[in-house]
Amino acid sequence: MTTARYERARPVAVMIERNLRIYRHTWALLLAEILEPILYLGSIGLGVGVLVGHLPGLGAPSVGYPEFVAPALLATAAMNGALNETAFLMYNRLAVERIYQPILATPMSVGEVAVGEIAWAVLRSVMITVGFLGVIAVFGLVASPWVLLGVLGAAVIGFCFACVGLLVATWVRGFPDFQFVQLVMLPMFLFATTFYPLGVYPRPVQVAVECLPLYQAIQLLRGPALGQVDAALLLSAGYLLVLGGLALHWGLRRLRRILSV
């Protein structure tokens, strides 16, 4: 049984090892993905936070604005790390470098290649999250030890958006199409309670915001970061896992069709 499980996991491990070997020479990209949320945290979380002060009703007795923003930027970094790895880089490997065709000449299947890429994207999200967690700890923005649940939450977020990125990579016709991806990602980043609570919206808008995957990702990390651990976290995690599973199923079907041509 153990040997059979090892043989099933081996192709995934091979894909992760391949990407690790590549990132030995491009490790600065990971630092750049940690730097971006740090800039937002410094300019908005700490800068605007001086003007905002504390947000009542989110903790006991209240939550400072930087502590409110930091988990949202953490979720955004985990999302971007996974989505960039599959949507952009996987499309490049699929359509430009065409590296998957030689890989499939080995005993590896399309499904094993896809799962390996997703597993690497999840690992990348977790590494970015750990790095950014260290930064916010240095800034003294850790309000609760439950924030460590963010590492597990980042894996869930990474899985969801890595699978969505895989699906996107199978639909993109060329690099200009990624502008449409940004057209979706930027408004979601701005309105998914990254910088202000859900309560600022009228109820119909709140319902729309609650349907956004980034909102659920932020809820998954913001709750533990503020010491609020309850059943709502399971709902957010379930939402992301279901969305990721559906995207993976659809993306695999399309990827097999593309690579069989």
Cα–Cα distances in Å, from 186 out to 76, 98, 165, 181, 192? 11, 29, 15, 9, 10
Predicted local distance difference test score (pLDDT) of residue 148: 86
Q: How confident is the model at residue 1 (pLDDT cuts 50, 70, 90)?
A: very low
As a whole number of angstroms, the distance between CA 12 and CA 117 comes to 8
- Tell whether the model's pLDDT for residue 36 goes beyond 50: yes
Give the residue among 83, 95, 96 at the shortest CA–CA distance from 158: 83
pLDDT the model gives residue 8: 60
- Report the amino acid identity of residue 119: A
Choice between 37 and 242, residue whose per-residue pLDDT is larger: 242
User: How is the chain split into domains, by residue range?
Assistant: 2-259
Supply the mean pLDDT for the chain. Answer: 85
Q: How far from the centroid of its chain's Cα atoms is residue 105's Cα? A: 31
Give the span between the Cα atoms of 159 and 46, in whole angstroms.
Answer: 30
| pLDDT classification of 156: cutoffs 50, 70, 90 | very high
Nearest to 165 by CA among 75, 243, 52: 243
Confidence of residue 167 (pLDDT cuts 50, 70, 90): very high
The two tokens of residue 100 are 């998957």
Most confident of 69-78, 84-93, 153-162: 153-162
Evaluate if residue 258 carries a pLDDT over 80.
Answer: yes
Report pLDDT for 122.
Answer: 94
Q: Are 195 and 44 in contact (CB under 8 A)?
A: yes
Q: Which amino acid is at 155?
A: A
Residue 178 has a pLDDT of 87
The percentage of residues in the chain with a pLDDT greater than 70, rounded to a whole number, is 90
Estimate to the nearest angstrom the gap between the alpha carbon of 189 and the chain centroid: 12
Element (H, E) at 204: helix 203-210
User: What are the backbone angles phi and psi of residue 107, rounded to the nearest 5°?
Assistant: -65, 0
Tens of pLDDT, residue by residue over 51-78, are 776 766 555 556 788 888 889 999 999 9
